[in-house]
Structure 1
Amino acid sequence: MKKQTKIAAVLSAAAFMMMVSGLPVYAASYGWVTEGDAKVYYDEDGYLTTDAWRKRGEDWFYLGEDGQIVKSAKIDEYYVDDEGKMVTNAWVELKNEEDPDSPETPDTFWYYFEKDGKSAVSKWVKFDSKWYYFDESGHMATGKTEIDGATYYLGTEKDGFMRTGWIRLEENSHAPGASESWYYFNSDGKMVTTQYDKKIDGSYYTFIDGKMQTGWVLMPSKSDVTDSNAASPKITDYQYYGTAGDGKRAEGFRSIEGISGIHAADEVYTFYFKAGKPYVSDKKGNSLFTINAKKYAFSDLGIMQTGRQIANVANDEIANFYFGEDGIVKTGKQAIYNEETGETENWFFHTDGDKKGQGYHGLRDGILYVYGKRQDATADQRYAPAVLNGVTYLVGTAGNVQKASASSTSSEKPELGRGYKDIKDANGKIWTVDTTGIVQ
């Protein structure tokens, strides 16, 4: 015991000398030694081990510059716990010592130390069936993160695992009034960047720079149009993609605002979409379209028409039509209010066949129609002439053609013989008509 005590005394003196003079401390034996409340390690030459790893049992410990076990600290790419043991297969949250005052950096960072004790760096790690990414500093990445040329969304500072599917994100969370946009991340976590008509769960969406597009979207063939290199884009260059919370490629009827520079500002119009594209007349003016076995008219700006309208028909001709508030063409007799004259007019539109919906042009049931409009004499006239295909007829206040009987004769023009008749209008003018109502 004396010998051991002496040695211990010498060692203590040596340790003291090292602290004072910087000389190395050595011992007659090596390995782990308890000095007071601390564990230290001496090498084979009897020198105190510092700034190095040493194993005790199944665990590794790091000995600091004073030779004592370092605890609760990150040592290069490793971490030791509150007992000084190097952690493995473990998550560790450490205070941010790099730039703690920056609003863009968190107060703490999460690390993951793998089975060899090294922190995961610049790599993906799968944990509990979820994927995490650790950057070049070993920090668990969060938020929108670019990795190897692709963008991923890695959750918040509280979780950090890779997300898939739809994610709604702020453009810049640190900017006042930051707006939000929807993004989509594929099953491999990669964000859809710029893609037109991507099919997701049976619907189609368009993304530009990752953002889901809404409203009117100028399609790729025209997306680089400028005043200097091409004519202004037309409505046929656009597709429509729903509202801010939707984004689905439009199908069917939509009552929405038009396109800036093409339609009047702040006006709501009704359009019909098929695969996102509006029905548009390919000729100047309106053209007819059949939707669910019913006829509608859309203009060369894609606007659904209501009321009385002129539309293009076969053989480069035009015809009058009348459409209800729902846009469906009307047929048969229709009383239509004329806003310009303040009067209600009577019309007739074909009820079937290729001309269904077109204004009737000709005589029908003894009544004369010109392109659908019934030709009436006013109450003040009582009788009035009406021209059909260059032929003048005499009509009454209900549009009925005035005809002579086969035996009647004209007093004004007796030389015509039988089959003519004189009719006096309210102004005293006498009209002579034949058996078909044609004015002589």
Structure 2
Amino acid sequence: MKKQTKIAAVLSAAAFMMMVSGLPVYAASHGWVTEGDAKVYYDEDGYLTTDAWRKRGEDWFYLGEDGQIVKSKKIDEYYVDDEGKMVTNAWVELKNEEDPDSPETPDTFWYYFEKDGKSAVSKWVKFDSKWYYFDESGHMATGKTEIDGATYYLGTEKDGFMRTGWIRLEENSHAPGASESWYYFNSDGKMVTTQYDKKIDGSYYTFIDGKMQTGWVLMPSKSDVTDSNAASPKITDYQYYGAAGDGKRAEGFRSIEGISGIHAADEVYTFYFKAGKPYVSDKKGNSLFTINAKKYAFSDLGIMQTGRQIANVANDEIANFYFGEDGIVKTGKQAIYNEETGETENWFFHTDGDKKGQGYHGLRDGILYVYGKRQDATADQRYAPADLNGVTYLVGTTGNVQKASASSTSSAKPELGRGYKDIKDSNGKIWTVDTAGIVQ
């Protein structure tokens, strides 16, 4: 017992001397030695090994400054587990000791130690068919991350694998009331940055600085317009991409608010879009467009027209039209309420041919129309003159042209002979007309 106690005392003194004086501990044997509950290693010269790796069996261990096996600790690029073994092909979560109080950094970091035991650094690693990226510190990257000039989304702190497809992200997750935007990541994980009309699953989207655009979007040729270098953009410089959360390039009819600075604020208008661009009159005022074999009118601001409107037609001419609440042109007889006069007017619009929908101008079935509007005498007048192309006709209360028979004569103007007729209105005025109804 005295011998064993002496040996223990000598060993303790040697260890103590190593710590206080830096002198190496020497033993007669070398290799792995059990000392109490600890395993230590002596080299071939009998000195205690410290701050170095040594292999035992198939495993590597790190011996600290006291010569004992280090456990559960990251050592440079390596990590040893709770038995002191260097881990390989393994995930390890370690407490963040770099900047634990910063809201920008997590409480812990994930590392991946590869088959040689080194942590993956500044590289991609594929694990279970998923890709992960580890930064220059060996930390598993998460969130929006820029790598070699491209931006990726690497999930949350709980997973960290590379995502593809649509991802909805907050602009600044640490700011109160942060807004969200949609982003798209290609099959290689790279975020679409700025691209117009990118086709995704059969629909088209536009991205600026990665964000999916919605609503009216000023297209690239005009996106740098300023008050100082060019005229203000026009509606033809824009495309429409749906409401928030949608973003698809618009097709067909949409009832939406207009463009700030071009249309009245907070007003809803109906537009028609083809490949995102609205139908717009290329002349001042309204122009006609055919959609699904139906005629519509859109203004020079792209607004679909309803009610009675004037529109541009061929040969730089204009004509009256009447459109329903659905915007489709009306034809034939139409009773139209005039808000200015408070009266209902009678109109007729061409029913076919190149002039379909235009207001009829001329005589039709004995009734006189001027640019579509029936020319009526008021009930108080009974009869009234109406001009058509510089010729004056006499019409009744339903627009009928008043005509003389071939044998009738005028008492007021007998010198005209046969084929003339006198008609007295409610005011007692005598109107003389011929067989065509023309006032003499």
TM-score (normalizing by structure 2) = 0.98
Partner of 2:254: 254
Higher mean Cα deviation, 5-14 or 76-85? 5-14
Cα drift, residue 373 of structure 1: 0.1
- Equivalent residues of 1:323, 1:329 under 8 A apart: yes
Distance 1:20 1:284, change over 3 A: closer
Cα drift, residue 16 of structure 1: 3.5
Structure 1: how far apart are the matches of 2:214 and 2:406? 72
Structure 2: how far apart are the matches of 1:373 and 1:117? 92
Cα drift, residue 20 of structure 1: 4.2
- Equivalent residues of 2:424, 2:431 under 8 A apart: yes
- Equivalent residues of 2:19, 2:66 under 8 A apart: no
- Equivalent residues of 1:150, 1:190 under 8 A apart: yes
Structure 1: how far apart are the matches of 2:31 and 2:437? 131
Distance 1:179 1:3, change over 3 A: same
Distance 1:20 1:362, change over 3 A: closer
Residues 384-410 of structure 1: CA distance to partner in whole angstroms, max 9, x if unpaired? Answer: 000000000000000000000000000
Cα drift, residue 45 of structure 1: 1.0
RMSD: 1.4
SS of the residue 2:380 aligns to? coil
Cα drift, residue 18 of structure 1: 2.3
Partner of 1:65: 65
Structure 1: how far apart are the matches of 2:141 and 2:18? 45
SS of the residue 1:44 aligns to? coil
- Equivalent residues of 1:249, 1:275 under 8 A apart: yes
Cα drift, residue 24 of structure 1: 1.2
TM-score (normalizing by structure 1) = 0.98
Cα drift, residue 325 of structure 1: 0.1
Residues 326-366 of structure 1: CA distance to partner in whole angstroms, max 9, x if unpaired? Answer: 00000000000000000000000000000000000000000
- Equivalent residues of 2:78, 2:87 under 8 A apart: yes
Residues 124-178 of structure 1: CA distance to partner in whole angstroms, max 9, x if unpaired? Answer: 0000000000000000000000000000000000000000000000000111110
- Equivalent residues of 1:281, 1:300 under 8 A apart: yes
Cα drift, residue 7 of structure 1: 6.6
Cα drift, residue 245 of structure 1: 1.1
- Equivalent residues of 1:362, 1:388 under 8 A apart: yes
**How many percent of aligned residue pairs carry the same amino acid?**
98
- Equivalent residues of 1:91, 1:111 under 8 A apart: yes
- Please tell me whether residue 435 in structure 1 is matched to residue 435 in structure 2: yes
Structure 2: how far apart are the matches of 1:398 and 1:15? 125
Structure 2: how far apart are the matches of 1:294 and 1:19? 97
Structure 2: how far apart are the matches of 1:329 and 1:203? 31
- Equivalent residues of 1:11, 1:27 under 8 A apart: no
In the TM superposition, 1:78-117 aligns within 5 A as: 78-117=78-117
Cα drift, residue 298 of structure 1: 0.2
Matched positions, count = 440
* Runs of 5+ unmatched residues, structure 1: none
Cα drift, residue 8 of structure 1: 6.6
Cα drift, residue 17 of structure 1: 2.9
Structure 2: how far apart are the matches of 1:73 and 1:141? 21
Higher mean Cα deviation, 46-55 or 325-334? 46-55
SS of the residue 2:13 aligns to? helix
Cα drift, residue 411 of structure 1: 0.2
Residues 256-303 of structure 1: CA distance to partner in whole angstroms, max 9, x if unpaired? Answer: 000000000000000000000000000000000000000000000000
Higher mean Cα deviation, 19-28 or 288-297? 19-28
Cα drift, residue 420 of structure 1: 0.2
Cα drift, residue 10 of structure 1: 4.5
Cα drift, residue 15 of structure 1: 2.6
SS of the residue 1:6 aligns to? helix
Structure 2: how far apart are the matches of 1:219 and 1:272? 18
Residues 58-106 of structure 1: CA distance to partner in whole angstroms, max 9, x if unpaired? Answer: 0000001111000000001100000000000000000010111111111
Cα drift, residue 14 of structure 1: 2.6
Structure 1: how far apart are the matches of 2:364 and 2:205? 53
- Equivalent residues of 1:32, 1:42 under 8 A apart: yes
